[in-house]
């Protein structure tokens, strides 16, 4: 009886060791997938045909360090808008004849009522600035469906807004550059919409229907919308990890 128990204990121990090994291997594989499966971040002098985290960080430093505050009513918000527009104009000037590239800014105004903390409040805004950038092939038609990428360049009160949402704007600028400098001709028009009033009670959400009447967006029906958002300081950055492949999948699918 004692010998049988010892034999059973040995088998049980081997089973436990095997399970522990399997669990350890699964945990290691999960760690590799979650924390180590990213592409290597590229510096700002990387191949122009690759998405560069270094170039995106250069935009981010300009927006969050060199510009003092991007809150509503502060000069930094307009300075950020002019920086974004200047970068987009530079990208447009590099585009070859196979592209149709447009840069524009739109001023939106409106008012609405809302309930906030059980109080009814009314908000009115005037001449909030949005910036649009449209890339299409020179053979595209005006009624071709488009893919819209949206992000906001204003920042929360008391914050430089590096994450929310300077990182979104920096990624959009680098992605717009990548489309042109990689000589990738999108089969559908791509519109980059930079909103200037998100943190103040989501004014850009209220003004979005008015932006839908802008000629650059009305050119064709909306095929897809990608809203870039910041949700914490950890986790993968979709555009940094996958680069142009994400946009190609959205446009081609």
Do 231 and 135 fall within a single domain?
yes
Among 153, 167, 179, residue whose Cα is nearest residue 250: 179
Packing angle of the helix pair 244-252, 168-181 (nearest 10 deg): 80
How many structural domains comprise the chain? 2
| Count of positions (residues) in the chain | 253
**236 inside domain:** yes
Do 110 and 171 fall within a single domain?
yes
Rounded Cα distance between 229 and 171, Å, is 11
Instruction: Write out the residue range of the structural domain in which residue 33 sits.
Output: 1-37
**191 inside domain:** yes
Do 20 and 93 fall within a single domain?
no
**pTM value?**
0.76
**48 inside domain:** no
Do 17 and 139 fall within a single domain?
no
List phi, psi (to 5°) of 105. Answer: -125, 145
Quick: pLDDT tens for 198-209: 887 777 776 766
Residue 172: its pLDDT value, please? 95
Do 216 and 161 fall within a single domain?
yes
Rounded Cα distance between 146 and 221, Å, is 7
**46 inside domain:** no
**47 inside domain:** no
**189 inside domain:** yes
Q: What is the CATH number of the domain that holds 123?
A: 3.40.630.10
Quick: pLDDT tens for 103-155: 999 888 888 888 878 888 888 888 888 999 999 999 988 778 888 898 999 88
Do 112 and 14 fall within a single domain?
no
- Element (DSSP H or E) covering residue 131: strand 119-137
Do 221 and 245 fall within a single domain?
yes
């Amino acid at each position: 009886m004692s010998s049988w128990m010892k034999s059973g204990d040995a088998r049980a121990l081997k089973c436990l060791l095997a399970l522990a090994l399997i669990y350890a291997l699964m945990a290691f594989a999960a760690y590799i997938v979650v924390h180590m499966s990213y592409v290597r971040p590229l510096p700002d002098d990387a191949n122009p045909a690759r998405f560069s985290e270094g170039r995106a960080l250069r935009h981010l430093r300009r927006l969050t360090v060199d510009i003092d505050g991007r809150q509503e009513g502060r000069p930094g918000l307009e300075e950020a808008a002019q920086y974004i527009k200047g970068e987009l104009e530079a990208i447009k000037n590099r585009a070859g004849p196979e592209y149709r590239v447009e840069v524009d800014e739109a001023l939106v105004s409106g008012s609405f009522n809302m309930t906030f903390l059980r109080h009814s409040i009314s908000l009115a805004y005037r001449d909030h600035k949005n910036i649009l950038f449209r890339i299409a092939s020179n053979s595209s038609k005006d009624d071709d469906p488009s893919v819209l990428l949206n992000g906001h360049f204003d920042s929360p009160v008391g914050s430089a807004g590096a994450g929310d949402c300077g990182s979104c704007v920096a990624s959009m600028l680098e992605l717009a550059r990548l489309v042109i400098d990689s000589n990738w001709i999108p089969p559908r028009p791509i519109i980059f919409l930079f909103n200037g009033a998100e943190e103040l009670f989501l004014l850009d959400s209220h003004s979005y229907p008015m932006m839908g009447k802008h000629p650059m967006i009305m050119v064709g029906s909306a095929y897809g919308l990608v809203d870039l958002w910041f949700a914490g300081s950890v986790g993968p950055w979709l555009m940094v990890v996958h680069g142009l492949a994400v946009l190609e999948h959205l446009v081609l699918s």
